[in-house]
Structure formats: structure tokens, C-alpha cells
Amino acid sequence: MNDTKDTPRCSPDVSSLVSPMNTSPISVLTLSKEALLKDGPRRLQYSLVHTIARLLPAIIVYGGTAGLLVCAVCQYRWGVLLSLTLYSFYMFHLAFTTFVFAILGLLKVLVNSNENWKARYHYEVDLKERQGQTSTFTTQEDSHGDLGWNDVLHIVMIPSYDTPMSVLEETLLACEKYDQASTHLGICLAFEEREQGIANKAAALQEQFENRFKFLFTTFHPPDLPQHLPGKSSNECWAFGELCRELQNAHDIMPHDPRVVITVIDDDSELHENYLEALTYHFLMTGEQSRHLSTWQPPICHFKNYMRVPSLMRVSSACASLHELACLASPLDSHIPYSSYSLSLVLASAVGGWDPEYLAEDWHMYAKCSLMTGGRVRCLPIFLPLLNYMPETDTYWGTLKSRWAQAKRHALGLSEIVYMISTMYLGTLELKTLQQKIIYLWRLLPLLGKMAHVHFVNALSAVWTVLAQLVIHFYMWRSWCYVSSLGQHDLTCGFAMASATENGIEEEQVLLNSLMVYVQLRVTAVMAVFSILSCGLGAFYFHLVRDRIEGDVNAHCFIRNPLLHWIFIECEVTSLGLIQSICFGAVPVWIAVLKVVGSMSFKHDVAGMLGRQQTSAEI
């Protein structure tokens, strides 16, 4: 990434269409490096902030662990125990809230799946009118610019690379279930030009789905464009520029048209049949100003090929899906869109579209929107699950290797922490008053904290849990004894007292150590129980979406019954949970933090999908 120039626009010939304009209903900051870093001192300060931000993840992950080990070696046992216990309390809080809000999320999915969103919209509008309130949800002609149900146009953008034709057909068939697909839904298929045979694939899809949508538009992202990191974000960057031009030329829709909502999904995603209808409801009911400062997120459910993948990946998918659902259901969470999300064309145009040189497209677009709008953008849930595939190839080990490649790519999303901190500094330079700067930072800190939290938990949850047991039972075994033995003077406690005295540890310290170990062990045990129970809820989540799962669910005795399935998942999580947390959580992040120190431009591998010819080609 070039740290001295502004982010390149999506497509040079349409850059004027997607750059911030005075006609936008929302105001945004420019955050222009060229304009804000004119003098030497500012450039030096920005460079210092950027360097510290790149070092910060490594300092937290490696430095925190190394600090604990140094304290242990230097016999600062109380400090080590206190740190590990505080961390265990934090993880207990996380496990408990995940369990509670996952249950709430499942209930919301159950209720929302049976909702008639169009009828609900008209009922609420009629109710307001009967109560004598001025309706703000009538047609454009009657309301001087506000919108009604039939005014909203949806566009689903589907970036794709080397994906089997059958999978793309399933994705489009799911979109077609929207009851106004032929009149109020446009599809933008964003292909990579370098994919072999892509012209024939695009033509076949165009012919097969002709007249099923308002329009089906295809784009082809050229290879080797300057500052375009091969991947989803650069593809969307190019596709958005082409889409804006197509909308204007073919449909007379300008980039700041308030009627248009863009939904970005992966090419293996299956939208819930009522998602776009629910999105219309939420978009209209949010309000004329707030709707353009909002994004919407369905819970992502990695269950599409659940019955074919290895147990280690089933555990990973169940835990990840339940955690995502719990975060959406929690009012305490500062949520960031993950994988698939919706936003207005107004917001996308106001911030200049997607950036081409970043890896975590979903996180980066949301961070960019938040930074440019002064932290006013929010991610709102729509509890209608979107199903997609876990990585899968023809072989057992190939599938695990593909999941490993996906985990490494996801871990590199921590580079967004660097982007956030560096760009927040630019924002403080652009704002004029101290009060504006303080409000700006205050609004953005929860988002920065969420980014740090996700990677901090992934990197350390398994490592520090194991480290705590090693420190307690091996390194410190002579300086504590079980609390139940303290007043009995049995051999175990007496040996601990004698050994501690020989090593210069007072009996009072042995007592304190013993108490802290007592708390640590129990908090860790309760945390583990809630973590296992949370993942076990995946059995009930699975049965809420079982009609959309590939394969015959009834053919598996441990899966067709929710109770047996719950027991089955609990056994898998208990035996494999720690292993998958290390393999697909901790290790990829520990690798990623070192990569971020050395570079902000990454190459990565495609996570394989059944039928793909290239499972390790750069994208």
C-alpha cells in the first residue's frame, strides 16, 4: 500500500461518478493524504502513527505472552496469576454473553423467518396515518423525495473467481425467489478477466437468467492494474465503477439516487428468500437520513455443505456461525459486516466506492464508511440467515488445507487496525475544532476496539488457556496448594509450604497464590462449559435451516434429530474445539501480525471449493 498517496479510484473513466459530490444527501470527510500532509512535520507524525499501528498487533500478541513468561521466570508469580485470572474472567464474560445472545439470535431467526415484511410495512404505515401522523412512507411524487415500497431498487453484486457454474446458478436462483425480482432487482456479476473461459460462462448465465431480473450486468476486472491487489475488494472496486456508468447510461440512475440499495454477497451464498423484502422494510423504516448512514447484515451460516466436511471444520463452522449470530443479537456489540452486507448507493457513492488495495473487503468498506462519515455509520441486523459453503476440495486433507488458507486470509484482516488508526489521525487533521476531533475519536473507538477484540480473542484464547494450566501445574506447583487442604496440614499442602519457604516465598504468599489458583481454575472451567454449550446450539441453528442444506439430512441418525445432533456436536466440540481454535484461530493470527509488521500489501491463496481447478492460485 502506498502511504503517501490517496486511495486510487475504482475505474479512471468513471471516477467522477463515484467521488463525493455536493448532491449527496450525506456529508463526508475527504481524508486526503495529499491535502492534509502538506508539510514535513505532519508527514513525519503520520509516518510515526502508521509505524506504531503496524507494530501494535505484534506487541499485543507476542509482547503480552512474552511479558507473562518473563514475569514467571522472574518469580513475579502473583502478577502472572492475576493477569491470567483477569483474562479468564474476560473470556468467561465473552463465553457467557455469546451463549445468552446466541439463544436470543435463534429466537429472532425463528420469528423473522415467518414474518410478512410487506404486510408489516403497510400495517405500520396505515397505523401512523390513522393516528393522525404525517406519513413519510408514501410515493416519491406525494412526499417530495421520500420513498414508498415500490420505489426501492435492489442490486445484488456478486464478485466471483473460478467458481463452478452450478454454484453460481444456485446463488442466482436464490436471488430470483425475491417476489419483485423481475422489476425491482438488478444483478451485477463481477468476474475476473483472467479466469479461463470466463466469457463463455458469463454468456451462459446471461442467456439462462435473461428476463428473470430487472437487469443482469456483467463486469470483467482486468488483471495487473496498478495498486489492485487481486481479490474481492479490487474486483468490487472495478465493478462498482462500471455499475455506476451502466446505471446512468442505461437506466438514468445517478450515483446519489436514494432509491437504490446494494447488497454484496459471495458467489457461493444463498440469500434467504425473504431477505430483500425484509431489507426493503428496514431501509424504509430507518428514516430518510439514517438509512444512508446504515449497513445491514444477515447472519452468515456456514452450513451449506455441513455434512460433507471433516469434523474439525464442522466444529469451526458451528462455533463461527453461532458467534456471528450472537454478535448480531447483542446490543453490546459494535458489529462489523462480515462477508455479505447491504448499503445504500448513496453511501457507497459518497465514500468513493470500494478500495482496490485492501484484503478484508467487508471490514475495510465499513471502516472507510465510518471514518469518512465521522463514525455515524452503524451495522444493523436482519435475522434471516444467509447460507454459504465451507472450503471444500476432492480430498480430506485438501479440504483442511483450503480451510487453513481461508483462515490465514481472514487473519490478515487485522491490517484494518493499521488503516483505522492511521486514517483516524488524518480525520483529526481535517476537522477544525477540538470538540469535533474528540467526538470523532469517541465515535470511532468502539469500531477500533471491535477489530482488536476479534483478533485478540482468536490469537490468545487457546494459547493463554493452555499457558495458564502449564504455569499453574508445572512452573508454580511448589508455591500453592488446593484451598480445601490449607487448614488440614496434609502432605500436599505441607510440601507446598516447605518448598515455598526453601525458595524464599512467605506462607502468606502461598495462601494468596492458592486462592488465585482456586479462582482461576473455576473461572476457566465455567468459561469452557459455556463455550461448549454455545457451539452446541449449532444443532438447533442447523435445524432452523435444514431445508437449505445440501444432502439428505434424514440419512444421518445423529443429525436428523435435534437432540442427538446437539449431543453429537457437544462431543465434537469437547474433543476438537481446542485443536480447531489453535489451527484456524491462533496460529494464523500469530503469522499475520508478523506479516503486517513487514508489509501492508499481501498475496493470498484461494480457499478451495469442490469443482474448482485452482485451489492455491493467487487471487
pLDDT digits (tens, 9 = 90+) for 448-491: 999 999 988 888 888 888 888 887 777 766 666 666 665 555 54
- The residues facing 544 across adjacent strands are none
**Residue 502 pLDDT:** 52
- The residues facing 342 across adjacent strands are 263, 296
**Residue 429 pLDDT:** 95
Q: Average pLDDT of 259-282?
A: 96
**Residue 6 pLDDT:** 47
pLDDT: is 140 or 567 the higher one?
A: 567
Question: What is the tens place of the pLDDT at every residue in 404-429?
Answer: 988 998 898 889 999 999 999 999 99
DSSP string, 107-176: HHHHHHHT--HHHHHHHHHHHHHHTTPPPS-S-HHHHTT---GGG-EEEEEEEESS--HHHHHHHHHHHH
**Residue 575 pLDDT:** 92
Question: What is the tens place of the pLDDT at every residue in 185-223?
Answer: 999 999 999 999 999 999 999 999 988 999 999 999 999
Q: Which of 14-23, 374-383, 558-567 has the highest mean pLDDT?
A: 374-383
**Band of pLDDT at residue 276, cut at 50, 70 and 90:** very high
Q: Average pLDDT of 585-612?
A: 75
Look at residue 107 and tell me whether its pLDDT is greater than 60: yes
**Band of pLDDT at residue 359, cut at 50, 70 and 90:** confident
What number of residues does the chain have?
619
**Residue 494 pLDDT:** 56
For residues 596 and 415, the answer to whether their CB atoms sit within 8 Å is: yes
Closest CA to 479 of 460, 518, 507, 449: 507
For residues 359 and 233, the answer to whether their CB atoms sit within 8 Å is: yes
- Give the span between the Cα atoms of 471 and 480, in whole angstroms: 12
Residue 350 DSSP SS3: helix
Q: Which of 104-118, 449-463, 468-482, 495-509 has the highest mean pLDDT?
A: 104-118
Question: What is the tens place of the pLDDT at every residue in 163-185?
Answer: 899 999 999 999 999 999 999 99
- Give the span between the Cα atoms of 52 and 435, in whole angstroms: 25
Residue at grid coordinates 469517541: 442
Q: Average pLDDT of 354-382?
A: 94
Question: What is the tens place of the pLDDT at every residue in 137-146?
Answer: 444 433 334 7
Rounded to the nearest 5°, which phi and psi values hold at 121?
-60, -50
Buried b (16+ CB within 10 A) or exposed e, 107-125: ebbeebbeeebbeebeeeb
DSSP string, 254-297: -TT-TTEEEEE--TT-B--TTHHHHHHHHHHHT-TTGGGGEEEE
**Residue 11 pLDDT:** 47
- Give the span between the Cα atoms of 563 and 553, in whole angstroms: 14
For residues 219 and 190, the answer to whether their CB atoms sit within 8 Å is: yes
**Residue 292 pLDDT:** 94
**Band of pLDDT at residue 441, cut at 50, 70 and 90:** very high
Summary mean pLDDT of the chain = 85
Is the torsion defined by CA of 307, 310, 311, 313 positive or negative?
negative
Question: What is the tens place of the pLDDT at every residue in 218-240?
Answer: 999 999 888 888 888 999 999 99
**Residue 293 pLDDT:** 95
Q: What's the pTM?
A: 0.89
Look at residue 506 and tell me whether its pLDDT is greater than 70: no
Q: What's the one-letter identity of residue 339?
A: S
For residues 30 and 21, the answer to whether their CB atoms sit within 8 Å is: no
**Band of pLDDT at residue 505, cut at 50, 70 and 90:** low
Look at residue 9 and tell me whether its pLDDT is greater than 60: no
For residues 263 and 278, the answer to whether their CB atoms sit within 8 Å is: no
- Tell me which of 248-257, 480-489, 530-539 is least confident: 480-489
Look at residue 340 and tell me whether its pLDDT is greater than 60: yes
For residues 82 and 246, the answer to whether their CB atoms sit within 8 Å is: no
Distances (CA, A) of 231 to 119, 240, 325, 346, 381: 40, 14, 26, 24, 26
Q: Which of 90-104, 130-144, 589-603 has the highest mean pLDDT?
A: 90-104
Question: What percentage of residues in the chain have a pLDDT greater than 90?
Answer: 57
For residues 284 and 151, the answer to whether their CB atoms sit within 8 Å is: no
Report the DSSP pairing between strands 153-160 and 185-192. parallel
Phi-psi region of 374 (alpha: psi -120 to 50; beta: other; left: phi over 0): left
pLDDT: is 38 or 470 the higher one?
A: 38
Look at residue 43 and tell me whether its pLDDT is greater than 90: yes
Residue at grid coordinates 456478486: 158
Q: What angle do CA 570, 574, 580 make, to 5 degrees?
A: 110
- Consecutive H or E run containing 217: strand 215-221
**Band of pLDDT at residue 5, cut at 50, 70 and 90:** very low
Question: Is residue 227 packed enough to be buried (19+ CB in 10 Å), middle (13-18) or exposed (0-12)?
Answer: middle
Question: Is residue 491 packed enough to be buried (19+ CB in 10 Å), middle (13-18) or exposed (0-12)?
Answer: exposed
- Give the span between the Cα atoms of 73 and 475, in whole angstroms: 9
Look at residue 331 and tell me whether its pLDDT is greater than 50: yes
- Give the span between the Cα atoms of 101 and 409, in whole angstroms: 28
Q: Average pLDDT of 488-504?
A: 55
**Band of pLDDT at residue 12, cut at 50, 70 and 90:** very low
**Band of pLDDT at residue 149, cut at 50, 70 and 90:** very high
Residue 598 DSSP SS3: helix
- The residues facing 605 across adjacent strands are 618
Residue 220 DSSP SS3: strand
- Give the span between the Cα atoms of 238 and 590, in whole angstroms: 32
**Residue 188 pLDDT:** 96
